[in-house]
């Protein structure tokens, strides 16, 4: 059974959340950190965009500024995600490229790690959850989790969001949803594309309940042992530096 360092639910701002992922990757590269699973929330709520997306193309910047919502570019591809503090949990899993759980095939890799989310949803009583290539988990045909991966620093990083609650109006006020994406799926109403755990179960599932199911779900699906721990001082210092110099900078966030 593979062991993973487990960093239990933490709350940070967007810059620190993304900086921690990179700091852990760098530490793993240098052999200074073990494979790691972390859960976290975003405060203030924030929108993250994929590394190839244009910030102004995807995000209503003026609205975000007026509401105190942060906006950040990820190092991973994929689409824009609204991380509502009350409405989701984000996870990151990081391991060396040569780790037994790091599949060479990227879609297989997504499928394996998304198994943790599916197992978690099963625990909560959602039994029709499935992996939908390339990088989604759906339930009742609607997206409930989006995921993104990068492979650099000799590492595999996958992070993703699991939607607990969804304010569709707020989400589509913050995100600029391209018409092409909607018409391709022959769905006239954007609200039909995405769902949340509370919508599916029709009850107020708490953050703690979701957290518990995720912890168990990842343990079961990946057959790993979680060893509760925290960032090293060196990782924390690196993350603080990256948050300040990279992830909060316009040079990074508005580079495209």
Partner 1 sequence: MIILKEANYKVPDGKLIKVKLSVSSEKIDQVRILGDFFLHPEETILTIEESLIGSVKDEISITETIKETLNESDAILIGATASDFSKVIMMAWESK
**Interface residues with partner 1 (CB under 8 A)?**
50-54, 57, 75-80, 106-107, 134-135, 148-152, 178-181, 183-184, 256
To the nearest whole angstrom, how small is the minimum distance from the Cβ of residue 180 to partner 1? 4
Nearest by Cα to 121 from 99, 106, 136? 136
Cβ-based nearer residue to partner 1, 34 or 154? 154
> Beta strand 88-96 with 36-42: parallel, antiparallel or unpaired?
antiparallel
To the nearest whole angstrom, how small is the minimum distance from the Cβ of residue 77 to partner 1? 4
To the nearest whole angstrom, how small is the minimum distance from the Cβ of residue 245 to partner 1? 19
First to last CA, the chain: 42
To the nearest whole angstrom, how small is the minimum distance from the Cβ of residue 187 to partner 1? 12
User: Would you state the torsion angle of the CA atoms of residues 112, 149, 16, 6, taken in this order, to the nearest 10 degrees?
Assistant: 20
Phi, psi for residue 146 in degrees, rounded to 5: -115, 145
Q: 120: which residues sit within 8 A by CB, 6+ positions away? A: 162, 210, 213, 214, 216, 217, 218
Cβ-based nearer residue to partner 1, 185 or 204? 185
Residue with tokens 């530096």: 241
For residues 33 and 87, give the distance between their C-alpha atoms in angstroms, rounded to a whole number. Answer: 30
To the nearest whole angstrom, how small is the minimum distance from the Cβ of residue 136 to partner 1? 11
Cβ-based nearer residue to partner 1, 134 or 168? 134
Cβ-based nearer residue to partner 1, 54 or 115? 54
Cβ-based nearer residue to partner 1, 107 or 227? 107
């Amino acid at each position: 059974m593979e062991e993973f360092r487990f960093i239990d639910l933490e709350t940070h701002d967007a810059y620190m959340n993304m900086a921690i992922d990179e700091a852990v990757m760098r530490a793993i590269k240098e052999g200074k950190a073990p494979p790691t699973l972390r859960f976290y929330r975003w405060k203030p709520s924030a929108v993250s965009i994929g590394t190839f997306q244009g910030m102004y193309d995807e995000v209503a910047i003026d609205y975000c500024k007026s509401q105190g919502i942060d906006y950040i570019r990820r190092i991973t591809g994929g689409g824009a995600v609204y991380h509502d503090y009350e409405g989701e949990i984000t996870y990151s899993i990081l391991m060396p490229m040569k780790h037994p759980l790091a599949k060479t095939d990227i879609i297989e890799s997504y499928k394996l790690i998304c198994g943790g989310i599916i197992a978690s949803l099963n625990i909560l009583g959602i039994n029709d959850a499935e992996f939908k290539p390339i990088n989604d988990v759906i339930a009742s045909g609607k997206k409930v989790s989006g995921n993104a991966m990068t492979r650099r620093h000799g590492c595999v990083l996958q992070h993703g969001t699991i939607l607990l609650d969804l304010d569709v109006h707020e989400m589509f006020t913050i995100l600029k949803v391209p018409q092409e994406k909607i018409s391709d799926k022959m769905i006239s109403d954007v609200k039909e594309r995405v769902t949340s755990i509370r919508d599916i179960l029709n009850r107020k599932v708490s953050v703690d309940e979701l957290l518990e199911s995720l912890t168990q779900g990842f343990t079961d699906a990946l057959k790993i042992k979680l060893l509760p721990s925290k960032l090293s001082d060196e990782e924390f210092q690196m993350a603080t530096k990256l948050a300040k110099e990279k992830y909060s900078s316009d040079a990074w966030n508005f580079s495209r």
